[in-house]
Amino acid sequence: MSQTGNEKVVFEGEDGNAGYASPALDLIATAFLLALSGLVIVASWRLPIPGGLATAPGLLPFLTAASLAIMAVLLGISAIVRHREGARLWDAGARDSSQDGRTFILVAAVAVYIGGLHVLAFQYYFNIGTIPMVLSAFEPVTIIALASIIHLFWRGPLWITALISVGWTLTLSLVFQKMFNIPLPGGF
Amino acid sequence: MIETIQLLFTPWLLIMTLSGVCLGIIWGALPGLSTTMAMGLLIGLSAGMSQDASISFMLGVYTGSVFGGAISAVLINIPGTPDAVPTMIEGHQLAQRGEGGQALGMAIAASFVGGTVGIILLVTLIPVILTFALNFKSWEMFWLAVIGILVSGSMAAGTMPLKGWIAGWIGMLVAFVGLDAIHAVPRFTFGSFALFDGISYVAVLIGLFGLAEIFRTLPSKDIVAIPDEVGRIIPPLRILAKFTPSAIRSGVLGTFIGAIPGAGANVASFLAYDIGKRRASPEEKAKWGKGSYEALVCAETANNANIGGSMLPTLALGIPGNAAAAALLAALTLKNVSVGPTIEIDHPGLIYFIYGALFIANVMMYLAAFALIGPCVKLFSLPRGILMPLIIPVSVIGAYSVKLSIFDVWIMFGAGLAGWLLSVFKFPVAPIVLGVILAPLADENLRRSLFVFEDKAWGYILSQWIGTILMLFVLLVVIEGILRAMRTNPEAKQDAPQKGV
């Protein structure tokens, strides 16, 4: 990880994972970055210039995209050079891809959760004793989404999953709405 | 001054600081939940607080979470935060010898000393930097912003600075979306009114550091061994006294590292750990890597001193010292606090409030840490499959609460997905945050300065000596990055190892 034996200490940046990827991944990144910078260069070129060139709204975006394109080319060249020096194009061992399927399910579940909050938004006012309360799509959608995601990744008893989902959702709802007066998504 | 002190000691603010510290410690202690993630997600909660309460709360979270990483590092051999890796190397060896409690006690004491050294240096140095920073005009502010993004990229990507710079540049492109600040021309909005306000950097921050982390760690099937008990926590005074010089040296080092934009607590703790080893007595040096209290003290002092250091450029120049400080800057901006050279003119007394709040947070961290070790051990036994999903609705609320916009929640989701993809392609994400936050500063100041320089010769531009020095510094950072990449061991380039923490 960060230590080899007890002698050498390797410094890690803010992101421990960052660094050299397999050449194929770097080439894909190069292609994407070139496309992105090309798009921004064209879009910033087409922006109106109300004052003069010095204050043009597209000036820094243009310069940023142009320098990004140069960096993307350098990334591509470094990938090709590494491949020529003997690095495998697709280094299967460099990354554990066995969890990708589970990751895709998780990403889809989160997307459905946010979509649910977006599409099913409603708001219902009621009182518990003298305390005014608000029920929105946040509570039912979060309970269902949370229970589903926990059930996907933890094979414990269903009643515990349900209890945790309900308990956590109601806690968040009360803390944000009642303590800090912050409206929750899923309402209006 | 007296009014500020009275304000800091009002019960509500003390409760807010304590809540922030406790949440931060617990958050930092949980494997996979980093300081920046805590700061990013809890911005949403701070949005509903008053300005004073929000600052106290966020500084509490910052202080608590930096220490919290040590708990899981020592007890279960998983660093809660990346800067706790040296603590893990030493602390877990001590824990295996039955000295886990004492190792944690040392880590708490070292964190407190580090925090205090950082605050003292912050208070001492900020007037000097502020006086100097008042000479900074648009041209200099533009170059400072560029330096912030470049250095962050350079530090974050380790052996391949190019990827860090690319990440920073992507962050800048994200920030250009929306109405431009000078002519109000819509840029890259593609006709969507939702994009006129720009892309919320809070949503981007939460996505990159919150949701992306969940996408990375929740599907993992790792199993962690949990200790039954931790033993004696309070370390003997003679051990504390023995390592005081190392603690002060590492504290000073950690503060200065923190002041460099982009150099986070992890760089500080690794550097202090390495320098500590070089300066240790032969007897102590032999223990390095096998459970050395001095090594633990060096690492923990440096990463907590880093907090004070990171506040130096954040408060004096408006350039965040690291991604966590960038999150703090975002929280301050939400409260209409604009930091930078004119902070004392724009917000008289605020800087003293921040010093005081940091100091109180540091004291509370010391007290709360002892109390929270037990509950943290209990929390470790919670399966990841339960713990991580609970953060998803917090991320959603955090992104929504800033502008009460579900569009921002989708932005957060997109940023989370992008963060996960970036980790697959081995790009760092911290420079993106710096890019998103600093790009508007760079954009506005570049255009202002070019307007001023419109009829001037190159000689006049170069005669702006601070700007010229900053330009040369940019060149130096780029050259250093290129040389570092060229010096990298060819095997490291070919193996492309996964060195995630």
Q: Please calculate the CA angle B448-B453-B454 and round it to the nearest 5 degrees.
A: 95
Residue B434 token pair: 């710096």
Regarding predicted confidence, which is higher, A65 or B197?
A65
Residue B445 token pair: 């100041």
**Mean pLDDT value of segment B468-487:** 88
Q: What is the pLDDT of residue B500?
A: 35
DSSP letter (8 states) at residue A177: I
Q: How confident is the model over B345-378, as pLDDT tens digits? A: 888 888 889 999 999 999 999 899 888 887 877 7
**Mean pLDDT value of segment B49-71:** 89
Name the residue with tokens 């500020």.
B4
Chain B interface includes A157 (CB < 8 A): no
CA quadruple B64, B66, B68, B71: dihedral, nearest 10:
-150
Of the listed ranges B62-66, B275-279, B486-490, B495-499, the one predicted with least confidence? B495-499
Closest CA to B71 of B28, B18, B19: B28
Regarding predicted confidence, which is higher, B374 or B490?
B374
**Residues with Cβ within 8 Å of residue B390, at least 6 apart in sequence:** A146, A164, A168
Query: For residue A98, what are the CA distances in angstroms to A93, A102, B315, B319, B501?
Result: 11, 8, 44, 40, 18
Query: CA–CA separation, B26 vs B434, rounded Å?
Result: 26
User: For residue A124, what are the β-bridge partners?
Assistant: A135
Q: What is the pLDDT of residue B102?
A: 84
Query: CA–CA separation, B1 vs A179, rounded Å?
Result: 30
Give me Rg for the CA atoms of chain B: 22
Query: CA–CA separation, A141 vs B451, rounded Å?
Result: 52
Longest dimension (CA), chain A: 75
Name the residue with tokens 């219902």.
A124
Residue B167 token pair: 């990440």
Q: Is the pLDDT of residue A101 over 70?
A: yes
Give how far A133 is from chain B: nearest CA, Å. Answer: 18
Give how far B14 is from chain A: nearest CA, Å. Answer: 17
Q: pTM for this structure?
A: 0.81
Which member of A20, A59, A60 has the closest CB to residue B496? A20
Q: Is the pLDDT of residue A36 over 80?
A: yes
β-pairing, A131-136 with B178-179?
A: unpaired
B264 residue type, one letter: G
Chain B interface includes A28 (CB < 8 A): yes
User: For residue A123, what are the β-bridge partners?
Assistant: A136
Of the listed ranges A88-97, A120-129, B264-273, the one predicted with least confidence? A88-97
Tally Cβ neighbours within 10 Å of residue A83.
17
- The reply to whether residue B270 touches residue A153, judged by beta carbons under 8 angstroms, is no
- The reply to whether residue A114 touches residue B406, judged by beta carbons under 8 angstroms, is yes
User: Do B320 and B310 touch, CB atoms closer than 8 A?
Assistant: yes
Relative orientation angle of helices B51-76 and B350-380, to the nearest 10 degrees:
40
Q: Is the pLDDT of residue B490 over 70?
A: no
Q: What is the pLDDT of residue A15?
A: 54
Query: For residue B475, what are the CA distances in angstroms to A167, B31, B309, B481, B487?
Result: 55, 38, 24, 10, 18
Query: CA–CA separation, B269 vs B406, rounded Å?
Result: 39
β-pairing, A8-9 with A123-128?
A: unpaired
User: Do A149 and A103 touch, CB atoms closer than 8 A?
Assistant: no
B400 residue type, one letter: Y
Residue B321 token pair: 């010292």
Q: Please calculate the CA angle B60-B63-B66 and round it to the nearest 5 degrees.
A: 140
**DSSP state letters, B35-97:** HHHHHHHHHHHHTTS-HHHHHHHHHHHHHHHHHHHHHHHHHHS--SSGGGHHHHHHHHHHHHT
Query: CA–CA separation, B378 vs B381, rounded Å?
Result: 6
Of the listed ranges B221-225, B234-238, B407-411, B421-425, the one predicted with least confidence? B221-225
Chain A residues whose beta carbon lies within 8 Å of the beta carbon of residue B461? none
**Residues with Cβ within 8 Å of residue B269, at least 6 apart in sequence:** B83, B84, B85, B86, B87, B254, B298, B299, B300, B302, B303, B306
Task: Report ipTM (2 d.p.).
Answer: 0.89
Chain B interface includes A118 (CB < 8 A): yes
DSSP letter (8 states) at residue B261: T
Query: CA–CA separation, B109 vs B244, rounded Å?
Result: 10
User: For residue B186, what are the β-bridge partners?
Assistant: B179
**Mean pLDDT value of segment A157-177:** 92
Q: What is the pLDDT of residue B264?
A: 66
What does residue B187 show for φ and ψ, rounded to 5 degrees?
-115, 130
Give how far A66 is from chain B: nearest CA, Å. Answer: 10
User: Do B330 and B201 touch, CB atoms closer than 8 A?
Assistant: yes
Give how far B241 is from chain A: nearest CA, Å. Answer: 26
**Mean pLDDT value of segment B321-346:** 84
- The reply to whether residue B82 touches residue A57, judged by beta carbons under 8 angstroms, is no
**Residues with Cβ within 8 Å of residue B237, at least 6 apart in sequence:** none
Query: For residue B486, what are the CA distances in angstroms to A68, B168, B262, B489, B492?
Result: 20, 21, 21, 8, 12
**Mean pLDDT value of segment B15-32:** 86
Q: How confident is the model over B184-237, as pLDDT tens digits? A: 899 999 888 888 988 988 888 888 888 888 898 888 766 555 565 666 667 777
Beta strands in chain A (DSSP E): 3-4, 8-9, 123-128, 131-136
What does residue B449 show for φ and ψ, rounded to 5 degrees?
-70, -35
Give how far A125 is from chain B: nearest CA, Å. Answer: 19
**DSSP state letters, B209-245:** IIIHHHHHHTT--------S-----SPPHHHHHHTHH
Name the residue with tokens 């996907």.
A152
Which member of A19, A61, A68 has the closest CB to residue B160? A19
Query: For residue B473, what are the CA distances in angstroms to B141, B432, B436?
Result: 14, 21, 21
Q: What is the pLDDT of residue A3?
A: 41
Q: What is the pLDDT of residue B79?
A: 65
Mean of per-residue pLDDT scores for chain B: 84
User: Do B433 and B262 touch, CB atoms closer than 8 A?
Assistant: no
Q: How confident is the model over A107-137, as pLDDT tens digits? A: 999 999 999 999 998 988 888 888 888 889 9
Q: What is the pLDDT of residue B81?
A: 65
**Mean pLDDT value of segment B244-255:** 90
What's the gap between Cα B211 and its chain centre? Answer: 17
A155 → chain B, closest CA residue: B385
**Residues with Cβ within 8 Å of residue B281, at least 6 apart in sequence:** none
Tally Cβ neighbours within 10 Å of residue B338.
12
Which member of A19, A51, A183 has the closest CB to residue B158? A19
